Amino acid sequence: MTNISISANIGNEVFQSPFINAAGVFDETAAEMNQILNSEAGGVTTKSATLKPRKGNPTPRYADTKFGSINSMGLPNQGLDYYLNFIEKNEINKPIDLSISGTSREDNLTALKKVQKSSFTSLCELNLSCPNVIGKPQVGYDLTAIEETLTAVFEFFTKPLGLKLPPYFDLQQYDAVAKILNKYPLTYINTINSVGNGLVVDAKTESVVIRPKGGFGGIGGTYVKPVALANVRAFRQRLNPEIKIIGTGGVKTGLDVFELILCGADIVEIGTALAQEGPHIFARLKQELTDIMQEKGYHQLSDFRGKLKEYQN
């Protein structure tokens, strides 16, 4: 359909299609990121980077399951310089979501200072929600730590910044987190990271399915879609309208994309389904979303974004 646009904006960035890879999927190496860039994805996210390259947790550390996936990757990545070099060396004509996930506040601040000094101008995302670094809690569940981190970051950081948040499960948590986030000039949030420290059991072998942390890991895929919808909706109802939302969690079809945008997402990210299907998933999502919009008579995403209705009799 020629009169349907599925473009979306975050900060100064224009996404020609409202879906990109979720951090951690098809993004550790240049070859993988190029596959995303050469697909119908609207942009690319980089694997959450630490200051130095990391090997991550012992394998096996990822498993597909009936309704999604479990992972305890433990931040394997090539180090921040690799991702900054990749961006500098290539003329990338799509938005980039540069993900940073230091294992301490000091490392996050050092990494963001490096990004601030670099020529990078697209979107930078501070991951406060990795559930899989052994011995480290998720900062996103410590409200004081979120506030202290943001205060320190905005003393020097002037580029567009987003935060990757863990899933919340209580309405009072949304109130408290949104109250903090609204005090800062954030460009966006990304919600949700995987549901941390779930457990998948193989009844046949009577064992867990991944090695690290006794089998505990982040859950993604269809299991988590209602949690993602709720977090997007709850934050859209509470955040300042200038703070945009990337909705992540359980997206497999164009209908899932539609539902997350209906709840208030500006764009969405695809993790488990991308890992399972590969980058051609973006062409399918584009077709499915466009078909839904055509059937409903929508011409652009803003026709329905955030317009989820109360229960209808």
194 lies in the site for ligand RRO, by CB under 6 A: yes
Distances (CA, A) of 212 to 71, 134, 250: 9, 9, 23
138 lies in the site for ligand RRO, by CB under 6 A: no
Cα–Cα distance measured from residue 54 to residue 278, given in angstroms and rounded to the nearest whole number: 24
Cα–Cα distance measured from residue 113 to residue 82, given in angstroms and rounded to the nearest whole number: 16
User: Measuring CA to CA, which residue among 166, 161, 178 is closest to residue 113?
Assistant: 161
CA 241 to chain centre: 19
132 lies in the site for ligand RRO, by CB under 6 A: yes
Task: Give me the residues paired with residue 245 across strands.
Answer: 189
User: Measuring CA to CA, which residue among 311, 307, 267, 308 is closest to residue 45?
Assistant: 267
Q: β-strands 19-21, 267-270: how paired?
A: parallel
Which residue lies nearer to ligand RRO by CB, 43 or 218? 218
Contact, 282 vs 39, CB < 8 A?
Answer: yes
24 lies in the site for ligand RRO, by CB under 6 A: yes
| Total residues in contact with ligand RRO, by rule CB under 6 A | 16
Q: Give the burial class of 256: count Cβ atoms within 10 A of its Cβ; 0-12 exposed, 13-18 middle, 19 or more buried.
A: buried
Which residue lies nearer to ligand RRO by CB, 76 or 306? 76
Contact, 180 vs 140, CB < 8 A?
Answer: no
Interacting residues with ligand RRO between 207 and 226 (CB under 6 A) = 218
73 lies in the site for ligand RRO, by CB under 6 A: yes
Among 45, 187, 191, 193, binds ligand RRO (CB under 6 A): 193
Contact, 110 vs 83, CB < 8 A?
Answer: no
Is 249 annotated as ligand-binding? Answer: yes
Which residue lies nearer to ligand RRO by CB, 225 or 305? 225
The C-alpha torsion from 21 through 27 and 33 to 36, rounded to 10°, is -20
45 lies in the site for ligand RRO, by CB under 6 A: no
Q: How far is the CB of 129 from ligand RRO (least distance, A)?
A: 6
140 lies in the site for ligand RRO, by CB under 6 A: no
130 part of the active site: yes
Stretch that binds ligand RRO, among 128-136, 203-211, 280-288, 305-313 (CB under 6 A): 128-136
Choose the catalytic residue: 130, 146, 181, 274: 130
Q: How far is the CB of 199 from ligand RRO (least distance, A)?
A: 14
Counting every residue, how long is the chain?
313
Binding residues for FMN: 47-48, 127, 164, 192, 221, 249-250, 271-272
**Any idea which residues carry the catalytic annotation?**
130
Q: Which residues bind ligand RRO (CB under 6 A)?
A: 24, 48, 71-75, 101, 127, 129-132, 193-194, 218
Binding residues for substrate: 47, 71-75, 127, 193-194
